[in-house]
Amino acid sequence: MKKLFVLICLLPCIQVASKAQNSKHTFALGDTVFLLDNKPFQLISGEIHCTRVPREYWRDRLKKAKAMGLNTIGTYVFWNALEPEEGKFDFKGNNDIAEFVKIASEEGLWVILRPSPYACAEWEFGGYPYWLLKDKTLKVRSKDPKFLNAYHDYIMQLGKQLSPYLITNGGNILMVQIENEYGSYSNDKEYLDINRKIFIEGGFNGLLFTCDGPSQMPAGYLPGFLPAVNGLDNPKEVKELINKYHNGKGPYYIAEWYPGWFDSWGSAHQTSNGDEDAKKLDTILSAGISINLYMFHGGTTRGFMNGANMSKNDPYSPQTSSYDYDAPLDEAGNPTAKYLKFRAVIEKHLPTGEKLPSIPSNNKTIAIDSIKLTKQFDLFSNLSQPVLAEHPLSFEDLGQAYGFVLYRTTIKNAINGELKITELRDFATIYLNGELVGTLDRRLKQNSILLNAPANAILDILVENNGRINYGTYLTDNRQGITENVTLNNTELVSWKMYKFPFQSMDKLKFSSIYKNTTFHASFYKGEFELTETGDTFLDMRGFGKGFVFLNGYNLGKYWYIGPQQTIYIPAGWLKKGNNEVIVFDELMGNHQKIKTLGQPVLNEVNK
């Protein structure tokens, strides 16, 4: 009887296992094409990052991907989102990458997974967690044992989440990328092979691949593994290049094809010609080449997670919070004219008898004429306990990832001269006895300002992390704040108090209903508003200076009057019927009384 009871209890498990086994597919590399269940399969993929899209909208965006004709989703995984502090992993909410992959499967989509812990992606530090920078001797993206140990631990945790979804285990993940554009950084094949071994140990037992730009492939590919190409759309060149580094064989995969581009603060909004893009897409698909559109849907880089570019020839350039990318699906997840053009092209290449699903309707939008900002929080009047040190400490030395640090010291003797901050990272507002005297912007290579200081003057330097560099050789030089020293007329200033403002939440702010004269003083402004209906909307930040916004506890991202982004997207799912709360931080302008929302974004206004 006991044996019979055990058998009855196990029967559902046996049935589930049998069903999984029966539904198991195979995915392999043919000489010229991918093979799904031993039949030719052309990847028509589009990139979406679940961290950039509100979880409430994952299914909506994936349905729209399917309706445009995509059969696959490409997605990066951001290490710094999943392990924000060393050893503390977070796979909840918008970080639930396994659930995102599962929903893709339910919507009939395959997945190309790109967790290669360096992502680039216009994301803070290219996806590396800030805490790797606490040790000045640690070198990311190298064979440094300290880096590899941290990397190994992360991939082991990620494998627990995602290896069950590999096609080799009955799931929908077809391939896994083990490094990302490594040829743009270095050429160490031993390092690449260590990546491969770590991924296999983590349970990623399916097909592995690398991707690089055309000129970078010789340095970035790993012999014996598929080398995909980025940024190339001439079929003849794609095939010749992959053949050269893959033993004369395919399949041919463009891992990143760019029908759009990202925006940087102070530069024009980037767009591409949809008609020309559609023709290129048609040519690529007609040649039998597999493709991943970067991006299909960009979404928004929330919080303080935007990255920045910098090279020997180009100055520091942080990216906007909007990651609209001029993609087929816009920042709010609505199909664009480009979407319709691409859908028409893909429809031509469908197998006989196959039809695309209808396009889901656009999301509802609302606009609010005026939200009164009735309470204020003056940053300088509400300082917590400082950290004391003889010399300024970086964010990393202070154990702070993102946000702001206020550096304070006293200038004992009256002096008139040049204040210089060596290696400022990245934007500073400078106050003398509470009065704003100037700003310094790393983008503009500014590091000094003239001061006329009376005796015993209090010098405040509020420093903002504008985004760590996400691409190129400067990855290894990414510490934030005042990273070296401050001098006044070539004499170093010492005895610093440092106040930490990571702004992970707004819970501890103590607002006052009495406005101070803060025309040029860093302050928070709070407003409440009632809604009888919800819908997507866009905060209109024109008239504000530089800062960020929280809504109902969500950090919506950054704004900066220089543009081109002048609005901040609010998804309907983050609004509530009834009472809502908005908190705006502005470090450059003050005395804000109200704010409004619009039914559409403003992404193309640049102010010098």
Q: Which residues are tagged catalytic?
A: 181, 256
Show the beta-strand stretches assigned E in 190-316. Answer: 207-212, 226-230, 253-257, 290-293, 308-309
Under 8 Å between Cβ of 465 and 425: yes
Q: For the chain, how many residues are written? A: 608
End-to-end CA distance of the chain: 83
d(CA 286, CA 288): 5
Query: Which pair of structure tokens corresponds to residue 532?
Result: 């009888």
DSSP string, 394-407: -TTTTT--SSEEEE
CB atoms near residue 267 (< 10 Å): 15
Exposure string of 194-210, with b = 16+ CB inside 10 Å and e = fewer, is bbbebbbebbbebbbbb
Q: Which residues contact 354 (CB under 8 A, 6 or more apart)?
A: none
d(CA 606, CA 608): 7
**Strands 496-501, 448-453: pairing kind:** unpaired
Exposure string of 377-405, with b = 16+ CB inside 10 Å and e = fewer, is bbbbeeeeeeeeeeebbbbbbbebbbbbb
Under 8 Å between Cβ of 537 and 568: no
* Burial of 334: CB neighbours in 10 Å, binned 0-12, 13-18, 19+: middle
CA distances in angstroms from 242 to 31, 68, 370, listed in the order given: 11, 28, 56
* Residue 499 identity (one-letter amino acid): Y
Under 8 Å between Cβ of 131 and 401: yes
User: What does DSSP assign to residue 217?
Assistant: H
**Strands 415-421, 491-492: pairing kind:** unpaired
Of 98, 85, 66, which Cα lies nearest the Cα of 131?
A: 85
d(CA 34, CA 290): 8
